[in-house]
Amino acid sequence: MYSETEQVFQQALELPIADRHRLADRLYESLPEAEFADAWRVELERRQAESDAGLDQGFDLEDVLKEARARIAK
């Protein structure tokens, strides 16, 4: 990182968490790719809401890893 960027980063780390979230969102939205990522953000928020509401039970990590290892072994 450039020294100025590192300096700004270190200052940002001193901000309260809510301000860091807002800053991260604003920086992310300033990127050209952000317009394409809006749909992904909406989808991630939908999935998080489903998970929070208990509508999505998800998968057990150990089961997922076991299946992945089995597929790789083939």
Output the pLDDT for position 69: 94
For 13-73, give the DSSP string: HTS-HHHHHHHHHHHHHHSTTHHHHHHHHHHHHHHHHHHHTT------HHHHHHHHHHHHH
φ and ψ at residue 63, rounded to 5 degrees: -65, -40
Average confidence (pLDDT) over 18-24: 91
DSSP state for residue 50 in the 8-state scheme = H
pLDDT in tens, 27-59: 888 877 766 677 788 888 888 898 889 887 788
pTM score: 0.43
